[in-house]
Amino acid sequence: MSQSLPELAQRREAIAQRIAQLGDLRPGCVTSTSGRCGKPNCRCHQPGEPAHGPHFRLTYKMNGKTISESCPLRRPSTRRSEKSRSSVNSRT
Ligand SMILES: [Zn+2]
């Protein structure tokens, strides 16, 4: 599939406009961590229990220093959608 140069330029312009609409852009890298903690009594060390996380961290450089801070990103909650689905069912 071949695209002409004007078509590609138009597509590039459309993508650039969408990026410009994002706002609040900052350089950095978002990583997720999950695993078992150092407390032997914690539930994460019990068989069959899930590990902690994922916790998201934003890492970026400022004035030559690497800064890492927790990031309020959350995975979409499947529990909430299940709850709303069941409340819809109970109404009918
Ligand atoms: Zn733990």
Q: Strand pairing partners for 70?
A: 57
Distance 19 CA to ligand 1 centre (A): 39
pTM of model > 0.75 = no
Residue 78: predicted pLDDT: 55
Does residue 90 lie in a domain region? no
Does residue 48 lie in a domain region? yes
Does residue 34 lie in a domain region? yes
Confidence of residue 73 (pLDDT cuts 50, 70, 90): low
What's the chain's average pLDDT?
81
Does residue 66 lie in a domain region? yes
**Cα–Cα distance between 15 and 21 in angstroms, integer?**
10
Distance 34 CA to ligand 1 centre (A): 10
Distance 33 CA to ligand 1 centre (A): 13
Does residue 53 lie in a domain region? yes
For the ranges 14-18, 26-30, 79-83, the lowest mean pLDDT is seen at 79-83
- By percentage, how much of the chain surpasses pLDDT 70? 77
Does residue 43 lie in a domain region? yes
What spatial distance separates the first Cα and last Cα of the chain, rounded to whole Å? 50
Distance 85 CA to ligand 1 centre (A): 31
What pLDDT digit, counting tens, does each position of 19-47 carry?
A: 889 887 778 888 888 889 999 999 999 99
Confidence of residue 83 (pLDDT cuts 50, 70, 90): very low
Domain that holds residue 52: 27-73
Distance 24 CA to ligand 1 centre (A): 34
For the chain, how many structural domains are there in total? 1
